Each structure stands twice: as structure tokens, then as C-alpha cells.
Amino acid sequence: MRLIVTVCFLLALVVGTVSRVTAETRYAYSFSPVETEKAVGTTIDKIIIIGNYTTRAFVLLQEMPFVEGDTLTLAELQTAQEQIYNLQLFNLVLVSAKRFDPQDTAALAQATALPEQDSTFAKLIRAGVSAADASGRAQTVVLVSVHERWYLFPQPRFDLRGVSLTEWLRRPTIANVNFGTIISHQNLSGLSDPLSFSAGVGFDPYIQVSYYTPYLFGTSRTGFGGSLTLRDLNNLAYDTRTNTVPRYTQKTFTAAIFFGQRISTFDFLNLTIGYSRISVFDDTFAEQPTATVSGDGRDYFPFLLLNYTYNRVDFNQCPTKGFFISATLLQSGTPFEANKINVTRAIIDLRWYRKLIGELSIGLRNWSVLTLDSPVPNHLRSFLGYSRLAVRGYTNTIFEGDNVQLNTAELRYPIIPDQTLTFDFMPFEQFKVLKWALYMTAFFDAGTTWYNPRTKLLSERSRRFTLENVNFGYGAGFVLVGGYRLAARVDFAVSDRGKFEIIFDNTVSF
């Protein structure tokens, strides 16, 4: 999807290695680790945020597990830094603390000795000493210093449908390619509120517009948004009589509105209400009676999605510590009309990460899709293989059904830990800093799919979960991650049948 941008990221990485400097003294500021440790255990008197020229301060405050008046801990400072960086709005995030004493001559001398380019930091130090003088007691200040990224991007889009990237590289053809553009602003009003418009031609021509704000009523933590999508979607489901994938167009229209409520720093509750219309031509329906549930080749149905998410990982782009759970209940259609869609589906995504020895970490994931026993049309099938949900070693094989079970274990080790590159020659401040890291991985995947008994099939297929139908793959790889949600991943995988493949992607596996 972001192949071209990822290539630019790799080129920037090469150029940037010749201009690396210490970012803390120029692009973001922080108190020293010694000063921060001395402040631990004291009461937080003031939280200061600098560098957020576009993003509103309370957006950052929402990510902190502490407020003014709380007792300062190193663990919570680290969590705040991770949470703010995971907003993906900043190139750099530094969270530190300092205990200012009245008449702190050492701090004043430090401020005087700073170079002119650090005048902002010098003023902050002097202000801390002045506050301590005015109150007649020591003051603990938490400093959150950020360097904002560029938010508005016209971005070329390239993706594949109906085939895996591995398979396409072996037999490249323009028939499965989507070309298009995405114009997005990731921080439209400074509320971490993304607005995007995208359009494309090729395998699945489409137009889509969406917007979401997580703070509809100021700082209330209540979110709202919506999306509209028009798409000519090609069928990806098998004809169970011939075991082939017939190509026919499903004309789709989807409208949805989103509601969100942030329960705490780490807990989110989301509700989506929408309407979908999916139709196929009469001659297509005569040949493919499983294309729709209705008897006329046209499925019109509302849908309701309820989701709970708990996200407490250290680094969204490549987590090595923490826990993530997403539980979704999706109702498509209603139970009140005969010969209409009535599909109830639960989707569970569990992820757990832990450091084992030093920086070596392990990640475990379970992805489950469970559908109640009701007829499921082709356009609501679940798949392993078309998307990033795949058993590595089987990425050129598509497994479909009404239910999915996928489990993954992955070891991760940063052979090059977080690095900061600077590009002083860039004319725009937002592009002068880039963080990156390189990880080595080892993985094991296991997954399978199966149908429900009432799903209309024209041949025998597995209608229950069995261990005999589980497919395995294992191997090793590398993941390069950087700012702007960029990543480049290569995996070398072997299936349980001994088949070797090389997998390329532009995101971490999970």
C-alpha cells in the first residue's frame, strides 16, 4: 500500500546516516537522567509541554498515566513517552523531570551556559527556578518535549487484490494491481483527527472519504466520525464446485458513522453503525448462487459493530513489551426478514509481548473469527492469505471459510536499537528528524479456516475445526521501522510441507 513511500524511507535512511547528531540538544529538549532520577518519588507540581505547535496540549495529557499532584515514578514517565510517541504525530518525544530548588545557582549557571539555539530550554530552566523562589519550596517539573511531523500527505497507493505479494512477484501481472492516491491529513485540527480522501483504478476501482475526531466535545474523550465508500469489488471466494475463484464484480456502497469513548489511558470503546449495498449482475447470480443471500443477487443490510480495545504496548510499530486486546462483535443484517443477511460474528485479537533476556523479546498472538451458524454469502467470507493475515510459508495459498483461527509466536531482537537521524539540509523543519530501528525475528505460525453447517456450499468443505486442517509455517526475518508509520519487512519462511518462500511487506507481522 505504501510501497513507494517505503522506498523513499530506505533512501532517506542511507542519506541520513551521514548527518546523525544528538537530537536532544537541537530538535527536542530533556533534563538529564540524573536530574530525572532525583525527581522520582516527589510530587509533580507542573507538567510543561513544548514543541506542539499544531497538536493541542490536552491531546498529549490524555496519554499520560499521571497528572499534576501525583507522585512521580520512572515507570510512568517511560509509559507517557511511549504513549505519546504511539500517537504517530511526532518525530521525537522526550519525557523527563527535574526538581528545582529555590535560588538554584547550578541550574541558573546551566541555563547561562546553553548555546543560543537552546534559548527555549534556557528560559524553561530559569522559569523553574523562579517558580521555586516564588513558592519558597522545591518544585518538581515534568517536561514533555516533542518534535512534530508533517501531517498532510498526497500519497500514491499501490496494492494487490486476489493474490499475495509473493505469488505476484513470481508471476507479475497488471490484472491484480490497484493504482490510486490517498490525500490525508493526520492531525486536521490538532486533535489527532485524521481526514482522508482516496480514489483508485485497477482491479477494484473505488472512491472513499472518511473523518474521525477522538475529542468531539473538547476534552470529553468522546469521539465521532464517518465514512462513505463506493467500490467495484472483485469476488475472491471459491466456486466450491470447481475449486477456482470466479472473477465477477460486486458493486458495493457502504456508509458508516463512528462513535468512540476513551474509558482510560489504555481502554477504548467504539461503536460503528452502517449500511451496505452489494449487488451482482443477473447473469452472474445465475452462475454463482452463493454470491448473495437474497434470491435476486442484491444484498441490502445494516450493520452494527461494537469494539473494546485495551492497548498498552511500548512501541506500536514493533512492540516488544506489553499487552493488547481487541474484542469485536459484528452484526450484519437483521434476524427479522427471511432470505436476508443475518450474520453475527465475533473477532478476537490477543497480543502479548515480553522481554526475555536483555533486549530479546517474545510476542504471542491469537486471532479468532467465529461466526454463528447462519448462511454467509461470498462477500462476507473470512480469509487467510489475501491480506496480511496469513500463515507464512503459505502466503500463496488462500484459505477461506466463515471462521478463522490464527496463532503466531515471534522472537524479536533489535540488532540496531532506536537511532535518530537528522537532515539539516531539508527546508521544512518537520522533515529534519527521523527515528529508525532494525529488528531480527524468528517466528512460528499456525492457522486454519472452516465453514458453518448452514452456509450454502456446492461441494464438501470442512464445517468444523480440526487439528488435521491446521497449517504451519516457520522461519526468520528482518524488520526495519521508522517514523511516519513506515516499515520494511522480509521473512524467509518454510511450510510444514517443506515449501520455501520469501515474503515482503511494509508492516510488522503483529
Has residue 382 been placed in a domain? yes
Asked if residue 177 has pLDDT above 90, the reply is no
Q: How much is the pLDDT for 357?
A: 96
User: Domain for residue 405, yes or no?
Assistant: yes
60 — alpha (psi -120 to 50), left (phi > 0) or beta?
Answer: alpha
Whether 25 shows a pLDDT value over 70: the answer reads no
Euclidean distance between CA atoms 389 and 366, whole angstroms: 11
Asked if residue 138 and residue 240 are part of one domain, the reply reads no
pLDDT tens per residue, range 403-444 = 999 999 999 999 999 998 888 888 888 888 989 999 999 999
Residue 173 confidence class, pLDDT cut points 50, 70, 90: confident
Number of domains, the chain: 2
- Do 174 and 266 lie in one domain? The reply is yes
State whether 439 and 481 are in the same domain. yes
23, part of any domain: no
**pLDDT score of 237 more than 50:** yes
Q: Is the pTM of this model over 0.85?
A: yes
Give the residue from 328, 329, 246, 255 showing the smallest Cα distance to 284.
246
**Confidence check: pLDDT of 97 > 80:** yes
Instruction: Assess whether 159 and 260 both reside in one domain.
Output: yes
Q: Are 141 and 123 in contact (CB under 8 A)?
A: no
Given this model, what pLDDT does residue 238 score? 77
Residue 91 shares a structural domain with residue 163 = no
Query: Do 371 and 228 share a structural domain?
Result: yes
**How high is the pLDDT of residue 246?**
85
Residue 39 and residue 51 in one domain: yes
Domain that holds residue 177: 152-505
- Tens digit of pLDDT for each residue in 343-401? 999 999 999 999 999 999 999 999 999 999 888 888 898 989 877 889 999 988 888 88
**Could you say which DSSP state residue 468 is in?**
G
Percent of the chain with pLDDT over 70: 93
162 confidence band (pLDDT: 50, 70, 90) = low
Establish if 22 belongs to a structural domain. no
For residue 498, name the pLDDT band (cuts at 50, 70, 90): very high
Q: Examine the domain organization and report whether 220 and 250 are in the same domain.
A: yes
Coil/strand/helix, residue 165: helix
Question: The CATH number of the domain where 115 resides is what?
Answer: 3.10.20.310
Q: Produce one character per residue of 252-262: b if its CB has 16 or more CB atoms within 10 Å, e if not.
A: bebebebebeb
The span from the CA of 262 to the CA of 426, in Å, is 37
- Lowest average pLDDT, out of 41-50, 243-252, 345-354, 358-367, goes to 243-252
Q: Give the model's confidence band at 26: pLDDT under 50 very low, under 70 low, under 90 confident, else very high.
A: low
In this structure, the answer to whether residues 122 and 176 fall within a common structural domain is: no
pLDDT at 71: 97
Q: Average pLDDT, stretch 132-147?
A: 96
Domain identity same for 118 and 254: no
200 shares a domain with 135? no
Q: Read off the pLDDT band of 15 (50, 70, 90).
A: very low
For residue 25, being part of any structural domain is answered with: no
Kindly state whether residue 321 falls inside one of the protein's structural domains. yes
Our measurement of the distance from residue 449's CA atom to the centroid of its chain's CA atoms, rounded to an integer in Å, reads: 24
Q: Is residue 13 part of a domain?
A: no
Task: Give me the CATH number covering residue 406.
Answer: 2.40.160.50
pLDDT recorded at residue 3: 47
Give the residue from 148, 174, 206 where a domain finishes. Answer: 148
Query: What is the C-alpha to C-alpha distance for residues 382 and 369, in angstroms, rounded to an integer?
Result: 8
Quick one: pLDDT band at residue 454, thresholds 50, 70, 90?
confident
pLDDT confidence of residue 171: 77
Confirm whether 8 is domain-assigned. Answer: no
- Cα atoms in the 13 Å half-sphere on the side-chain side of 312: 14
Looking at the predicted structure, is the pLDDT value of residue 169 above 80?
A: no
Instruction: Indicate the SS3 state at residue 507.
Output: coil
Q: How far apart are the first and last CA of the chain?
A: 17
Residue 486: all three cell numbers together: 513506515
Q: Does 302 share its domain with 450?
A: yes
What is the DSSP-derived secondary structure letter of residue 101? P
- Tell me the average pLDDT of the chain: 89
Task: Decide if pLDDT at 227 tops 90.
Answer: yes
Between residues 463 and 248, which one has the greater pLDDT?
248
